[in-house]
Structure 1
């Protein structure tokens, strides 16, 4: 019988209260930005790409927050409970290299497509409307299933913890996000991402340390001994041990996760927008920094919380004693709530509810900006009103935020009544999202990909992936339903086909049917969204030196009226800066893949069980890494933005003195 961990009143009060609080904070922050920092979210460039001026620290914090889904904390603990100590590392390695790859794509995009707002804009510029339509559909599918599964997973967690009706949770969780995102735009999501990250990391560190030092766990040594003493036998693990890195299920899950997460990054306009919004010199350092520190969340939280559940589940301290967790409860993510309630009490469990709210709203917020940008730019301004003013484009963006929020709440409810879980979504998402990855990457990396290849390869790949997934599900289970389609092996083979076959389709079609070579200078025809207004009139019209680009150099924008250097410039620095950063990002990516996927986990995959001394060092390093993450994405952004903070404080104090 399910245990009520928190009251319904606590659930409703926290979700509604935090939504209101964040709306107030963002409204205040937007006013301060506009008044003291000349950053006006009433203009599209600021609303969608934050005037392309965000520094390293805030970019890193925002990317980290967008990528720190509740999966990385709550569900990594649940799956560690299922499969043992190997799972957190395979999960962590499935988060890192995608962000490192995005650093390469981000800096290339900054050089070749400097004035894009969404990734779909340069798809249309290169291939035309048909390809544009295909990738709009694939991007929306990716965003909808990613965002929808996140809302559903969070709602099911809230329901399991408080007894709140799942439909109410699906509606209330995104409701507050709609309000503050519509008011503040992308820069608002950067600020709320920073708050989310700060609160979430502090809570995660507290949970890990408090659980580990609990008298019922007894520190790292006590945790090791208690886990070794359990009679739990894990099928597919060496000797059935939770403390062996040789775990077949953990490896299969980690592989599927890598493909799915790659799609969630490359096909998510939100990650491209954060890249477009950052300064040129900030993109690569910020993304690479996040690829390093994101490892800490599943590694630390999953290891300590997941194994602690196994350690105390059969003891009287367990909140549900003598009952143990069912598979449904584990797949719903209830491992962490049960551990916190058992060892730390109601206060910590309430803190977990706050963490869940932070993780969901951060992800949903960036998704809303991304989808609203697609609606306003890729739909409205492209096909319905090409001459729409900045003000009109912004109005459509606001409507897009509202519509996306309402739709996602309804979509999450639909998934709930269809019987879908976070586990099912994990195996389904890669199959429908991976087809767009390779063609999109080749769009800014390979001049030989043709229009026909860009249109056909993702369609052929989607059909191939779905056919593989469904046929293998039927072959091994004898039926196709919500249960058989979340088996590991069919999901993995479907993901592999969905990811790799576009490369084959695209290269073959491009080189055999009407081969051509794209002129990168065509991307410079894309322009900022401008309107004659006191702020936008300060910005120059977009006339970049095509000669400079053709030579591989950087370029600066000049005033279109008198050909003089504009007083306010949007610039890409000289060629050596992006070229150097691109080389650095490429080397870092290779090192990242080598370490996180090969050199680190592979040697541990053998017939061996962690010793106490090795386990102690393992846990200690996980905790240290999480403290490093706190410094990198919480402390450093404050330091990096110290001048802007000081400027805003001086403005507020000066205004108060005048008022006095």
Structure 2
């Protein structure tokens, strides 16, 4: 029987109140940026890719926030409750290598598609409209299911905690995001990502430490003793122990999650846009830094909260005593709320509701920018009004944000009444999202993929994955329904087929049917979105960090005195002119100066080396040696948990404290500008 932990008034108050608060904060921030930092979200380049000017610190914070869905905190605790200590590490390793891979793709994109706004733009440039159309559909499907399942998971959590009607939660959670996203664009999502990350990490650290130090847990040693004392037997774990890393269910779930999250990243143009928006010198350092610290969230939160639930579930302190959690409640993510209410009280549970709001709105905000960019650039400006002005393109983007918000609320409600859960979405999403991964990566990595291969391979991969999923569900469980299609083995096999088969199809088709070689210079014909006028030939101006100025990334010289009194700016090389379409490829040159290209290639080398090391460490050298007939000793467990907490403090330093330091100059300029303006008003 579900227990209402908070009142409906608390649920409505937090969701509506925080939506209004964030709207006010972002509107104010946008006005301040426009006034003091020359950053105007009324231009498409700023709205969609933040003028490609975001520094390392803010990029790191935004990337961290993008990967820290409620899955990584709330649901990692729930699945640790189900399968034990192995689950958080398999979860964390999946997050880490994806971010490292995105660092490679992001820096390659800087080199080969320097003026892309969405990942779909370079698909069209290389293959034409038919392939472009296929990937628009794949991107929208991935975005809709990813965002919709997140809204649904959050809504079900809010409903389980407060008793709020799930339909109301599905509508209210994305509603507030529409306002500040439409006003502030991608830079607004970076700023809200920073706020989300700050609040979420502080709350997660508090939850972990407060739960551990609770008198009913008794520290790390007490947690170990209480978990060992339980008679819980976990099927598939060595000796049935929660404290054994040898867990069949955990490793299978981890593999499915790796495919699903990889698809969610690469097939969602929102993740590409964050790399497009970052400075050349910020992309690889920011992504690789986050790939290290992201391990902390599922590792620390999942381990402590998930095992704490097992430790107290059969004691009178448990909020639902003598009843224990049902499988439905666990799959709905109610493990963490119940633990916090039992050990820390209503205040902590309310804090968790704030955390849930933060995680969901961050996800929805990025999704809105991504989909609005697809609507405005890949559909409207490509097929309906190619000559659309910057202002008109921006208007369509705003409409896209609004429409996507309304649609996602309705889609989440549909999933709810269809009986879907976050658990079902976890197994379904990789099957429909993975087929486009290899064809998209090969578009900027392999010159020999042909148009036919790019068109057919994702379709064949999707059909192969769906056939594997449904046939195995029927073969092993005798029916095809919501329950049988969320079983682990059919979902894993289908994800593997959906992921790898398009690569096989693409290589075979490319090398056997009209083989060709693509000239990468063709991508350099892509342009920035600018207001076209007969007299306008200047390059857009975007701000840059002091470091970028000093390193000379194609930056104009700045007078030292002017630099003290004006926003940081850099002049990026002008985009190819309209006549570039008619130019011979031999006449097309890269818009970046040679020193910037050298820097990009250097970062690309570092990113590739780090990706290989990351995979070796986080997937092979760290977890696999622990996968044996062994149960954690108390000493090992104590070190394991303490290190997880230290890692989370490291994450706080990397994505909260460092961004403030990295942006200190812009902050100083803004504060000085505001104080000077106030002083002048007083004088007048």
Does the pair score TM above 0.5?
yes
**Per-residue deviation, 1:368:** 0.4
2:620 to 588, 598, 620: 598
Length-normalised TM-score, structure 1: 0.96
Aligned residues: CA RMSD: 1.7
Q: Is the 8 A contact 1:41 1:47 kept in 2?
A: yes
Aligned to 1:412: 412
Aligned to 2:641: 619
Q: Per-residue displacement from partner, 1:77-118 (whole Å, max 9, x unpaired)? A: 000000011110011111110110010000000011000000
**2: CA distance, partners of 1:389 / 1:573:** 33
**Per-residue deviation, 1:2:** 1.2
Q: The residue matched to 1:586 in structure 2 has which SS?
A: helix
The residue correspondences of 1:31-110 to structure 2 (distance < 5 A) are 31-110=31-110
**1: CA distance, partners of 2:224 / 2:575:** 67
Q: Per-residue displacement from partner, 1:346-381 (whole Å, max 9, x unpaired)? A: 000000000000000001100100000000000000
Q: The residue matched to 1:319 in structure 2 has which SS?
A: coil
Aligned to 1:557: 573
Q: Per-residue displacement from partner, 1:396-445 (whole Å, max 9, x unpaired)? A: 00000000000000000000000000000000000000000000000000
Aligned to 1:545: none
**2: CA distance, partners of 1:456 / 1:606:** 42
Q: The residue matched to 2:377 in structure 1 has which SS?
A: helix
Aligned to 2:458: 458
**2: CA distance, partners of 1:105 / 1:540:** 25
**2: CA distance, partners of 1:538 / 1:314:** 70
Q: Per-residue displacement from partner, 1:126-174 (whole Å, max 9, x unpaired)? A: 0000000000000001100000000000000000000000000000000
Aligned to 1:636: 658
- Alignment of 1:439 with 2:457, yes or no, is no
**Per-residue deviation, 1:557:** 2.3
Q: Is the 8 A contact 1:316 1:322 kept in 2?
A: yes
**1: CA distance, partners of 2:63 / 2:293:** 11
**2: CA distance, partners of 1:437 / 1:503:** 9
The residue correspondences of 1:497-646 to structure 2 (distance < 5 A) are 497-531=497-531, 538-539=538-539, 557-558=573-574, 573-646=595-668
Aligned to 1:564: none
Q: Per-residue displacement from partner, 1:542-582 (whole Å, max 9, x unpaired)? A: xxxxxxxxxxx999625999xxxxxxx97684332111100
The 3 A distance-change label for structure 1 pair 258 and 631 is same
How many residues in Structure 1 have an aligned counterpart in Structure 2? 642
**2: CA distance, partners of 1:538 / 1:214:** 62
Q: Is the 8 A contact 1:389 1:530 kept in 2?
A: yes
Aligned to 2:549: none
Aligned to 1:126: 126
**2: CA distance, partners of 1:245 / 1:289:** 27
**2: CA distance, partners of 1:433 / 1:415:** 17
- Alignment of 1:343 with 2:343, yes or no, is yes
The 3 A distance-change label for structure 1 pair 529 and 262 is same
**2: CA distance, partners of 1:523 / 1:6:** 54
**2: CA distance, partners of 1:90 / 1:581:** 28
The 3 A distance-change label for structure 1 pair 559 and 499 is closer
Q: The residue matched to 2:531 in structure 1 has which SS?
A: coil
Q: Per-residue displacement from partner, 1:46-103 (whole Å, max 9, x unpaired)? A: 0000000000000010011011000000000000000011110011111110110010
Q: The residue matched to 1:281 in structure 2 has which SS?
A: coil
Q: Is the 8 A contact 2:389 2:532 kept in 1?
A: no
The residue correspondences of 1:4-403 to structure 2 (distance < 5 A) are 4-403=4-403
The 3 A distance-change label for structure 1 pair 337 and 540 is closer
Q: Is the 8 A contact 2:256 2:492 kept in 1?
A: yes
**2: CA distance, partners of 1:530 / 1:592:** 39
Aligned to 1:550: none
Aligned to 2:672: 650
**1: CA distance, partners of 2:595 / 2:408:** 40
**1: CA distance, partners of 2:367 / 2:645:** 30
Aligned to 1:566: none
Q: Is the 8 A contact 2:149 2:425 kept in 1?
A: yes
Q: The residue matched to 2:281 in structure 1 has which SS?
A: helix
The 3 A distance-change label for structure 1 pair 572 and 35 is farther
**Per-residue deviation, 1:540:** 5.6
**2: CA distance, partners of 1:78 / 1:558:** 51
The 3 A distance-change label for structure 1 pair 559 and 23 is closer
**1: CA distance, partners of 2:643 / 2:493:** 34
Q: Is the 8 A contact 1:259 1:434 kept in 2?
A: yes
**1: CA distance, partners of 2:49 / 2:596:** 22
Q: Is the 8 A contact 2:538 2:574 kept in 1?
A: no
Q: Is the 8 A contact 1:280 1:572 kept in 2?
A: no
**2: CA distance, partners of 1:23 / 1:359:** 16
**2: CA distance, partners of 1:558 / 1:532:** 13
Q: Per-residue displacement from partner, 1:578-626 (whole Å, max 9, x unpaired)? A: 1110010000000000001000000000000000000000000000000
**Per-residue deviation, 1:539:** 2.5
**1: CA distance, partners of 2:283 / 2:367:** 20
**Per-residue deviation, 1:512:** 0.4
The 3 A distance-change label for structure 1 pair 538 and 574 is closer
**2: CA distance, partners of 1:135 / 1:285:** 29
Q: Is the 8 A contact 2:554 2:573 kept in 1?
A: no
**2: CA distance, partners of 1:434 / 1:208:** 34
Q: Per-residue displacement from partner, 1:603-656 (whole Å, max 9, x unpaired)? A: 000000000000000000000000000000000000000000000001000000
